[in-house]
Amino acid sequence: MQSQKEVKKTRTLVSGIQPTGKLTLGNYIGALRQFVKLQDELEDTELFIFIADLHAITTPQDRVELRKNIRSVAALYLACGLDPAKVNLFIQSEVIEHTMLSYIMESTAYVGEMERMTQYKDKKGKQMEGIRTSLLTYPALMAADILLYDAHIVPIGDDQKQHLELTRNLATRFNSLYGETFVVPEGFYPETGARIKSLTEPDKKMSKSDENQKSYILLLDDLAIIRNKIKSAVTDSDTKIKYDLKKKAGISNLLTIYASLTDLSIKEIEKKYENSNYATFKSDLAEIVVDSIRPIQKRYFEIINDIKLDQILTEGAERARFVAQRKMQKVYKKIGLGRIK
């Protein structure tokens, strides 16, 4: 199966997800589901999707939790429909070439470029001391993740746009310094409306790092809790189920979730609930969310302790390593590192 993949594919897709905390409905709609769609649509493309565990240690992590999260995120990817026959799923730290190319990228990037990254500035601002060097150099590792596989397409959220731009600059700079080596990748951003907001503060994004547990839905939340979270989602005092981001952020967010999980457009949903009320709408939405999540949880609990999961990750890492090793040899040669082979 692996070699078949190799023959037919002429393009490459790379994406990663950090194993920090638990995955939310926002991650599912904004990232995981997109990967599943892409794996089915892009027949000429080889997919490399990895758990970015090295990225996670840019901030302190508990050893036991980290290990658990890595496995859990991998199982959730598969539970959400990622097909190991179509995707190379692996753990970043198991392919040493990511770290190797990261150093080369640090030796291509300028300190000023790293310091300009808004995510770094935000995270640094929140943490007063003990800021790790890797938090600053993080985009070099991300560039390595992408360039190692000559990715043409990189599905990411808007928050990663700046890191992708830097990756493109580094690829171009390296190519002009040492000769054509890397493909300059394109970002791929999910359709508009795929940004899911907090259920309690609908101006903010739904995030697993939010302190208020009612603000997000975890893919592994108890189904009864999920229903409750939807039903108690913050809405306005009006009664109309109408999409209006400015005046009705809460309802607009719920409409976005509804549309994302069904084949209906927002307009069609508005029409359907024209003469209805918030309670009915929320109760219907709660069932839609639960119906989407129930099969994911079922598959998750089947796979999480199964040796098959280890086999998938081992095979994914082997294929990734094969491609990455070839690339690193080329990179070392172009730069003039080591001896001539």
Residues that bind ligand AMP in the complex, under the rule CB under 6 A: 17-18, 26-27, 29-31, 156-157, 159, 194-196, 205-206
Smallest distance from ligand AMP to CB 289, Å: 14
Element (H, E) at 308: helix 307-335
- CA neighbours within 13 Å on the CB side: how many for 209? 7
Question: What six digits make up the tokens of 60?
Answer: 């302190």
Asked if residue 194 lies in contact with residue 29, where contact means CB atoms within 8 angstroms, the answer is: yes
Query: What single DSSP character describes residue 276?
Result: -
Annotation marks residue 208 as catalytic? yes
The item of ligand TRP, ligand AMP, none sharing an interface with residue 194, based on CB under 5 to 8 Å by kind, is ligand AMP
**Residue whose structure tokens are 């799923």:** 89
Annotation marks residue 5 as catalytic? no
Q: Which stretch binds ligand TRP (CB under 6 A): 72-80, 140-148, 214-222, 287-295?
A: 140-148
Q: Give the residue, chosen from 147, 156, 286, 323, that forms a contact with ligand TRP under the rule CB under 6 A.
A: 156
Asked if residue 280 lies in contact with residue 270, where contact means CB atoms within 8 angstroms, the answer is: no
The item of ligand TRP, ligand AMP, none sharing an interface with residue 154, based on CB under 5 to 8 Å by kind, is ligand TRP
| Cα separations in angstroms, 63 against 67, 98, 174 | 6, 21, 36
Q: Which is nearer to ligand AMP, 28 or 149 (CB)?
A: 28
**CA pair distance 180, 19, nearest whole angstrom:** 33
Q: How many residues bind ligand TRP (CB under 6 A)?
A: 13
Annotation marks residue 246 as catalytic? no
Among 114, 134, 111, 128, which residue's Cα sits nearest to residue 59? 134
**CA pair distance 49, 3, nearest whole angstrom:** 18
Q: Which is nearer to ligand TRP, 196 or 251 (CB)?
A: 196
Q: Which is nearer to ligand AMP, 159 or 310 (CB)?
A: 159
Q: Is 154 in the site for ligand TRP (CB under 6 A)?
A: yes
Q: Which is nearer to ligand TRP, 208 or 214 (CB)?
A: 208
The letter for the amino acid at 215 is S
Q: Is 29 in the site for ligand TRP (CB under 6 A)?
A: no
Q: Which stretch binds ligand TRP (CB under 6 A): 154-162, 171-179, 284-292, 333-341?
A: 154-162
The item of ligand AMP, ligand TRP, none sharing an interface with residue 76, based on CB under 5 to 8 Å by kind, is none
**CA pair distance 30, 217, nearest whole angstrom:** 13
Give the catalytic positions in this structure. Answer: 123, 205, 208
